[in-house]
Each structure stands twice: as C-alpha cells, then as structure tokens.
C-alpha cells in the first residue's frame, strides 16, 4: 500500500479534494492522511467520509513545540513548518512502512508508484528537484533552492527517521518565507542531502514534478487519455505522473492569475484550463452541499504598494491572466 499525507485549510479545500480524487484514479492501493488546518475543513471532510482517507484535526496533531512557534509564523509559513511534523506523526501513530508528503495543489495524471519504485538499493528517502527552466533559474535557484518539498518520501527506518527528525527540528527553529543565511522556508534544508546522506535518492523520472517553473523545458503530447512529456534529445516519451499547480488565483472578475513563470498557450490549454475548471466545479459543489463553505477569492485590489505594482502590471499586460473557462 502507498501511504500519503497532505495538509490544507478551507482556502485550499477544493484543491485538496482534487488531489485526493486524482490519487484515487491513479493509485490501485493507497491511503492518505489529511491534516485539516481549520475546523471547517475538518468538519466537511468528516462529513464527506472519504474512502481510503484518515482526517487528522489540529487538536490531535499540534504539539507543544508547534504551538510554541505558531504565533510567529504566517499561515503559509506554519504549513511549511508542519510538513515534516506531519510525516513524523503518520509514521509514529500509524506505523506505516513509508509515508510520502504531497502538496495540496498537486494533481495526478499517472500512478505515483512509478516514482516510488525508484526507492531501492538501500535508498529510503525520496526527494524531487525543481528542474528550473533557464529563465526561472535566474530568479529562483538561489532563493528557492535545488529541491522542492512537494513530493517527499521517508521510510519507517532508523537512518531515514534520523534525517526526518533533524529536518523537523530545523523547521521548528526557523521556517519563514524569506531567504536568510542560506535558508528559505522548509526546502533549502534539503540542499545538501544527497551528499550528506547515502540513503537519499533524487527522483529521476521526468514525469514527477512538472510545474510552472520548469514546464517550458519540455514538450507535451496527449495520447489515449494520458499526457506524456518529451525530453529534448531523448527517444522515448515519459508519462506525466503529477503537475504542481503552484500559484493559481481565481478572482471574481472572470479571470484567473496563474503566476509569474512564463507559460505557453499549449501548457495553459493542456493543464491550467482543465484544472481551473475542476476547481470551480468543486467549489460550486461544496457551496451547494455545505452552506458554511464560501469559495476563497484572492484580493484583486491589493493594499501594499509592491503588490499594487505587480497587480497593475498584470492587468495592463495580461501576463499569465486567463479568462476562466466555462465550457
């Protein structure tokens, strides 16, 4: 059985449910532990009674150390702080042999077993690279680091748990949305793991971790209800396992903002428009079934000067702003 965990609050509830549904379609035997980061999310997930899922409340999960740093972290920073603790919680409380953390804005197109199958020959920790495109690397490599905490696996084994425990304590000590002393959030801590720990494996399959910061490196083709990534110079094509839909913001004005990475029309049409349509459909369903649920909408008129400038640029140029698909 493949064991996963993820965490999100009501602002990401629709995306978390899409992640879950995509796993059900693509994994033959799995269980996911969902850490509900607010009461509304917990109550809705309990009511939905999702098969192959265990819902963990904050009351069950949070310990003294996490509660001690919570006031000093933003909502996003606290989620990053909690990632390693969530993995440890699942391993400690449910005694699973392996646990893979998933960001809530991942969507699976293929079996995660394709990726997990790379763990062999003494390797029991799996991490994924950003694989930045040339343009994104200029702006992101130094700050964000080589690795992305989006799909990360630990085994319930001594050498693996030792690394997990160190990372967990590092995140509690410092985990902020800024670059400082070689750190950024929870992910720069991974920078030297392959050199430090012989049990760490860096994912090789190119279909794991397609994301806005690397999508322009590849070509994609849809065949027989599957999407494949084509690597320049390679003879074979590789099945896409998951896409990381980082920074998708849906507004009230009929448009969605899909971030700052340069994306082609084919990438937007193949991945983003169907995903945004799924989000909207899921949010309509949640609003219809749960009166207390209100779909999250990002602020289209920011207050801070820096955000105002960014917003004005996007509105004037239309950069990565797409009309919300309704067909």
Give domain status of residue 221, yes or no. Answer: no
Give domain status of residue 233, yes or no. Answer: no
- Would you state the pLDDT for residue 327? 59
Give domain status of residue 237, yes or no. Answer: no
**CA 275, CA 245: separation in Å to the nearest integer?**
8
**CA 288, CA 293: separation in Å to the nearest integer?**
9
Tell me the backbone φ, ψ of residue 202, rounded to 5 degrees: -90, 125
Residue 200 sits in the same domain as residue 255: no
- Gyration radius (Cα) of the chain, Å: 19
Give domain status of residue 94, yes or no. Answer: yes
- Spatial contact of 210 and 218, defined as CB atoms under 8 Å apart: yes
- Would you state the pLDDT for residue 73? 97
Q: Which of 182, 206, 230 is the last residue of a domain?
A: 206
- Would you state the pLDDT for residue 225? 85
Which residue pairs from 316-319 have beta carbons closer than 8 angstroms and sit at least 24 positions apart in sequence? 319/260
Please tell me which of 117-121, 254-258, 315-319 the model is most confident about, judged by mean pLDDT.
117-121
Residue 32 sits in the same domain as residue 120: yes
Pairing of strands 200-202, 125-129: parallel
Give domain status of residue 147, yes or no. Answer: yes
Residue 292 sits in the same domain as residue 154: no
Residue 175 sits in the same domain as residue 319: no
Q: Which of 206, 225, 259 is the last residue of a domain?
A: 206
With tokens 């239309």, the residue in question is 318
Give domain status of residue 232, yes or no. Answer: no
Is residue 72 exposed (0-12), middle (13-18) or buried (19+ Cβ within 10 Å)? exposed
- Would you state the pLDDT for residue 114? 96
Q: Which of 190, 206, 222 is the last residue of a domain?
A: 206
Q: How confident is the model at residue 28 (pLDDT cuts 50, 70, 90)?
A: confident
Residue 171 sits in the same domain as residue 303: no
Residue 137 sits in the same domain as residue 256: no
- Would you state the pLDDT for residue 326? 67
Residue 150 sits in the same domain as residue 26: yes
SS3 100: strand
Residue 200 sits in the same domain as residue 277: no
Q: What is the pTM of this model?
A: 0.95
Nearest to 26 by CA among 220, 211, 227: 227
Residue 199 sits in the same domain as residue 256: no
Measured at the CA of 23, the angle between CA 154 and CA 159, to 5 degrees, comes to 5
End-to-end CA distance of the chain: 37
- Would you state the pLDDT for residue 299? 64
Residue 200 sits in the same domain as residue 257: no
- Would you state the pLDDT for residue 184? 95
Q: What is the largest CA-CA distance in the chain?
A: 55
Residue 200 sits in the same domain as residue 269: no
Is 302's pLDDT higher than 80?
no
Give domain status of residue 235, yes or no. Answer: no
Is 50's pLDDT higher than 80?
yes
- Would you state the pLDDT for residue 297? 78
Compute how many other C-beta atoms are within 10 angstroms of the C-beta atom of residue 127. 21
- Would you state the pLDDT for residue 324? 83
- Torsion sign across C-alpha atoms 265, 270, 275, 278: positive
Residue 110 sits in the same domain as residue 198: yes
**CA 79, CA 5: separation in Å to the nearest integer?**
13
Beta strands in the chain (DSSP E): 2-8, 30-36, 53-56, 98-102, 106-108, 125-129, 147-155, 179-180, 183-184, 200-202, 208-210, 219-223, 226-230, 237-239, 242-244, 249-250, 255-257, 321-323
- Would you state the pLDDT for residue 298? 75
Give domain status of residue 287, yes or no. Answer: yes
Q: Among the listed ranges 16-30, 54-68, 104-118, 136-150, which one has the minimum average pLDDT value?
A: 136-150
- Give per-residue pLDDT as tens, 221-275: 999 889 999 887 777 899 999 999 999 999 877 889 999 998 999 999 999 999 9
Which CATH number covers residue 20? 3.90.550.10
Q: Structural domain tally of the chain?
A: 2
Domain that holds residue 309: 249-323
In the chain, what percentage of residues exceed pLDDT 90?
A: 81
């Amino acid at each position: 059985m493949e064991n996963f965990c993820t965490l999100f609050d009501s602002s990401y509830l629709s995306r978390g449910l899409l992640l879950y549904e995509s796993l059900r379609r693509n994994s033959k035997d799995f269980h996911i532990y969902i850490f509900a980061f607010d009461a509304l999310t917990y109550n809705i997930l309990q009511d939905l009674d999702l098969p192959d899922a265990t819902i963990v409340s904050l009351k069950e999960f949070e310990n003294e150390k996490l509660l001690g740093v919570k006031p000093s972290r933003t909502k996003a920073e606290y989620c990053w702080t909690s990632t390693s603790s969530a993995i440890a919680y699942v391993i400690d409380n449910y005694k699973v042999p392996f646990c893979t953390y998933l960001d809530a804005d991942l969507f699976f197109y293929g079996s995660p077993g394709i990726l997990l199958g790379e763990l062999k020959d003494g390797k029991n920790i799996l991490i994924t690279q950003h694989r930045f495109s040339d343009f994104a690397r200029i702006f992101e490599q130094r700050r964000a680091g080589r690795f992305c905490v989006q799909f990360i696996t630990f085994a319930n084994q001594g050498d693996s748990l030792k690394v997990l425990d160190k990372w967990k304590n590092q995140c509690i000590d410092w985990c902020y949305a800024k670059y400082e002393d070689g750190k950024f959030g929870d992910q720069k801590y991974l920078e030297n793991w392959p050199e430090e720990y012989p049990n760490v494996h860096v994912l090789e399959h190119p279909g794991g971790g397609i994301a806005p910061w690397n999508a322009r490196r590849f070509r994609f083709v849809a065949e027989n209800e599957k999407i494949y990534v084509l690597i320049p110079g390679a003879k074979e094509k590789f099945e896409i396992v998951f896409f990381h839909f980082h920074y998708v913001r849906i507004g009230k004005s009929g448009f969605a903002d899909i971030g700052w990475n340069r994306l082609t029309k084919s990438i937007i049409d193949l991945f983003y428009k169907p995903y945004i349509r799924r989000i909207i459909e899921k949010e309509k369903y949640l609003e219809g079934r749960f009166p207390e649920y209100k779909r999250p909408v990002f602020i289209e008129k920011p207050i801070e000067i820096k955000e105002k400038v960014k917003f004005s640029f996007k509105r004037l140029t239309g950069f990565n702003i797409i009309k919300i698909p309704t067909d």
